[in-house]
A = this chain, B = another copy of it.
């Protein structure tokens, strides 16, 4: 999984079908790369989250025609020992 911090939120009125209800959040990973992850937990800006990517993300949402390949699976508690600087 990828660990990162929520840094923004997007809306896409013009979209394809089969996108479930939830939010598109921009997340910056420890290494600085940015991605957009789907969120069903109600995470907010600045939150440290854990993201699963690939078809595994779509499978959790029901698989088939769900066009999502990055899903926030949890918000990290503040207890990791040697977090990335």
Query: With A10-B76, A76-B10 in contact, do A69 and B52 touch (Cβ < 8 Å)?
Result: yes
Can you name the residue of chain B whose Cβ is closest to the Cβ of A62? B65
A10 to B: closest C-beta gap in Å: 5
- Tally of contact residues, A, Cβ under 8 A: 59
Question: Which B residues touch A35, using CB under 8 A?
Answer: 1-3
**Among B13, B36, B56, B68, which residue has its beta carbon within 8 angstroms of that of A58?**
B56
Is A75 within 8 A of B18, CB to CB?
Answer: no
Interfacial residues, chain A to chain B (CB-CB below 8 A): 1-3, 7-16, 18-19, 24, 26, 30-31, 33-38, 40-41, 45, 50, 52-60, 63-77, 79-84
